[in-house]
């Protein structure tokens, strides 16, 4: 018996404005269903409480997912002061309360300044970090003690980088912040640490991702908008997809002949006079043809593929 068709071979990237209350995987599955896509993946989970930019890769674009997982991110967040919560956000139980001291813009700025640049973080205990293949949040809900979780989280201590940390507004018990940060940054932990430095504790009451790698708020579409377009058919949906190369917009493009492109698709290297480069886009180019075939690097006069797309190039006459 032949295999059943499990969806369309559609490739591209769409930036969803994730709504609150859904997991990133639930959003992914809805997008995959709407596109009837054979393959799909997202590029970095947002907590159910969080909203904002969630790029979804379809088809061959899933080969760029890891690059986007490792890219810089940007967020707007509200840090509510005077409480520490079990999960670091509004979904957790209150574990400690403290009086918020009198604050001033200068006092807040002095604290924020200490969190810019390289910063050590211990990830939150309620996180997707894994122990023996199981996420910590799952172990926490099944009775792992706080001390045990803290010991595991401590082992995952890492250095992250805060490129920008801006105070947009503040009230006596809340800070409105914008953050641009490196991969692996937990905004819940950043907010908790800022609260500790202010002497009163804090938790994330709002989190909205404004950018994920090269993708930003201006490109976002809601699930409701996507569903409305889906009613118009596959062609209308496909027009919304961003090309795969938008995942690596600043990488140099290397033009190959169709013959060289076929060699690379067969796992061979191609000689070049171009300078060494760790990250390049690979394009097969001929009259009337310009097709992305993958990404790679240039090393010692050789172009080497790192990730190839499943494409068929036309035969040269």
Ordered by start, the domain boundaries in the chain are 12-70+215-245, 73-122+157-212, 251-308
Each residue of 175-186: pLDDT tens digit?
Answer: 999 999 999 899
- What CATH number belongs to 251-308? 2.30.130.60
Say what the pLDDT of residue 144 is: 67
Residue 4 reports pLDDT greater than 60: no
Q: Tell me what the mean pLDDT of segment 242-252 comes to.
A: 96
- What CATH number belongs to 12-70+215-245? 3.30.2350.10
Which H, E and C letters describe 177-237, residue by residue?
EEEEECCCCCHHHHHHHHHHHHCCCEEEEEEEEEEECCEEHHHCECHHHHHHHHCCCHHHH
What CA–CA distance (Å, rounded) separates 44 from 24?
Answer: 8
Residue 130 reports pLDDT greater than 60: no
Tokens for 225? 């908008």
When comparing pLDDT for 2 and 9, which is higher?
9
Share of the chain above pLDDT 70, in %: 89
CATH topology match: 73-122+157-212 vs 251-308: no
Share of the chain above pLDDT 90, in %: 77
- What CATH number belongs to 73-122+157-212? 3.30.2350.10
What CA–CA distance (Å, rounded) separates 215 from 15?
Answer: 7
What CA–CA distance (Å, rounded) separates 154 from 136?
Answer: 12
What is the band of 3 on the pLDDT scale with cuts at 50, 70, 90? very low
Q: Tell me what the mean pLDDT of segment 111-133 comes to.
A: 80
Catalytic residues: 47
């Amino acid at each position: 018996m032949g295999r059943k068709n499990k969806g369309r071979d559609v490739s591209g990237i769409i930036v969803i404005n994730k709504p609150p209350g859904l997991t990133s995987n639930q959003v992914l599955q809805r997008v995959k269903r709407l596109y009837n896509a054979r393959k799909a993946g997202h590029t970095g989970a947002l907590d159910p409480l969080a909203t904002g930019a969630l790029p979804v890769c379809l088809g061959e674009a899933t080969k760029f997912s890891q690059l986007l997982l490792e890219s810089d991110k940007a967020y707007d967040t509200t840090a509510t002061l005077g409480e520490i919560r079990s999960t670091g956000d509004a979904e957790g139980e209150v574990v400690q309360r403290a009086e918020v001291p009198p604050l001033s813009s200068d006092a807040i700025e002095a604290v924020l300044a200490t969190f810019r640049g390289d910063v050590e973080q211990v990830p939150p205990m309620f996180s997707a970090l894994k122990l023996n293949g199981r996420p910590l949040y799952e172990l926490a809900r099944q009775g792992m003690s706080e001390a045990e979780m803290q010991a595991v989280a401590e082992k995952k201590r890492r250095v992250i980088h805060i490129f920008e940390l801006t105070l947009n507004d503040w009230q006596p018990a809340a800070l409105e912040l914008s953050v641009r940060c490196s991969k692996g940054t937990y905004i819940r932990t950043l907010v908790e640490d800022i609260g500790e430095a202010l002497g009163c504790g804090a938790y994330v009451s709002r989190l909205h991702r404004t950018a994920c790698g090269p993708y930003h708020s201006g490109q976002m579409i809601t699930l409701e908008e996507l569903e409305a377009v889906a009613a118009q058919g596959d062609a209308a949906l496909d027009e919304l997809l961003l090309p795969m190369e938008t995942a690596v917009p600043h990488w140099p493009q290397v033009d190959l002949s169709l013959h060289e492109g076929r060699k690379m698709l067969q796992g061979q290297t191609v000689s070049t006079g171009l300078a060494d480069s760790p990250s390049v886009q690979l394009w097969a180019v001929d009259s009337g043809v310009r097709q992305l075939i993958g990404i790679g690097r240039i090393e010692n006069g050789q172009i080497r593929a790192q990730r190839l797309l499943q494409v068929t190039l036309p035969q040269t006459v």
